[in-house]
Amino acid sequence: MDIGLKLRQLRQQRGLTQEELADRCELSKGFISQVERNLASPSIATLTDLLECLGVSLAAFFSEKTDEKTVFAPEDMFEKADEETLRGTVTWLVPDAQKNEMEPILLTLGPGGESWRYPPSEGEEFGYVLSGSVFLIRGADKTRVKAGCSFCLHPREEHYLKNAGKSAAKILWVSTPPSF
């Protein structure tokens, strides 16, 4: 983190000159200049005083939180074709979703296609069938899920989806924690 640059940006955002900030903090203009150019390092007490004069807490100043991207276009998404198992595609709708608490995908299963088989887990999964129909297979249970219907499960046994029709099926599938 460039402390000097960040202090300069805060000072300028508040419309203060180096001299005005120095007066408020009972410091010299030269010291403020040196800190902003990273030629001098303020003590924690001095930094706390500077930040108080700028209206920022120490915690907020050192927070590296950046603006998170919240909207994703098709070019942000990653699609993988699988002609053997899926006979279709899986599209990761949120880049790097593995680092999030949930992972949404768009699954397209061709006729006779199956999703990968997932082992029991501590998470939750949600699916919404956008088109076509699928069988949700959990252990020995097999349930048909048609377009416009959804499923929600706590996977306590192996589970997967199988295309139940003669045309492609599209499913929005969300897993928490990420497992795809």
pLDDT (0 to 100) of residue 177: 83
User: Mean pLDDT for the chain?
Assistant: 91
* pLDDT for res 1: 81
pTM, full prediction: 0.63
Least confident of 22-31, 67-76, 140-149: 67-76
pLDDT over threshold 90, residue 90: yes
Q: Convert 147-169 into a string of H (helix), E (strand) and C (coil).
A: CCCEEEECCCCCEEEEECCCCCE
- In contact, 86 and 107? CB cutoff 8 Å: yes
Cα dist from 101 to 96, 115, 177, 179, whole Å? 11, 21, 5, 10
Helix or strand or coil: residue 174?
strand
Distances (CA, A) of 87 to 63, 112, 118, 129, 145: 46, 7, 18, 17, 19
Closest CA to 27 of 61, 10, 52, 3: 52
pLDDT score recorded for residue 164: 86
Domains of the chain: 3-62 (1.10.260.40), 74-176 (2.60.120.10)
Counting beta carbons within 10 angstroms of the beta carbon of residue 60, is it exposed (0 to 12), middle (13 to 18) or buried (19 or more)? exposed
CA distance 42 to 8: 14
Percent share of the chain, pLDDT over 90 = 72
Characterize the bridge pairing of strands 88-92 and 150-153.
unpaired
Model pLDDT, residue 67: 66
Q: Band of the pLDDT at 64, cuts 50, 70, 90?
A: confident
pLDDT band at 140 (very low <50, low <70, confident <90, very high): very high
Structure confidence at residue 142 as a pLDDT band (50, 70, 90): very high
